[in-house]
Chain A
Amino acid sequence: MVEPELIKAAQAGDRDALVTLLREIEHQVYRTAYYLLNHEQDAMDAAQEALIRVYTKINSYEEKAQFRTWVQRIVTNICIDKFRRKRPSVSIEEHDLVFQAGADVEGEVLSAYAAEDIREAIGKLPEHHRTVVVLRYLQDFSYNEIADSLNLPLNTVKSYLYRARQQLQVLLHDYQKGGVRG
């Protein structure tokens, strides 16, 4: 956690404090960018852009919000922008997969998914679902913290997260079946 004193010093104009602050959040910012963009160089670019924005906007941070949710809001916004510029948007409906509970669920071999498969599957989620999953699992955010970061109602966050897990589960299940069938 970033010390409130450090933030105050940075806001008071102490540049060294501000740079130290950036160093403290550097990894968490990069991690979100990496999993949202699923591309190392894009993530480096987005994370640097986010750090620069934190630097210039530090005075607009207000204590009533958590610092880390404020930071994550900045980085997720940048990533979503990049993401929209890069690809045509995919409607949530297209990805709206129905709850699959059937014979195929039974007898599944429960081997571990490769981290790479999971990352790839996350990359296939619609942007908001992806963002919610990343904040939940890569930043260990609570429902409320995610809602604050993304400026979304709590119920929306929950439904995105549930739907995202459902979709991931189907996608990964397909990978596994694909692997078995060759």
Chain B
Amino acid sequence: MIREKRQYILVYCSKELSQEDISALSKSISCLVGIMAFKDSYINIQRVDKSYIIISARSKFIKSIILATSLIRKLNGNSIRLYTVYTSSIKSKAIKRIPKEST
């Protein structure tokens, strides 16, 4: 089986995310994108900084995930905004885009 390429999206969050928020976010994105991605095999969300997360998914879902991030306004009842900063097929490249002052 040929493994499909994965891509990484660096996302800036307007509030610090807890583990609970991250699983809620995963569910919201999955619903919006229209895939059953509750298992880590499709969408994986990882916190890399207090206000930055990295979402990794199969390449074909990336554009839809970016659209989904612009539609999410609330998470666990609290308002939140997500801003896609950078996409790359290399994870370390995406992490490098985090401004120094934020770390």
A and B bind:
no
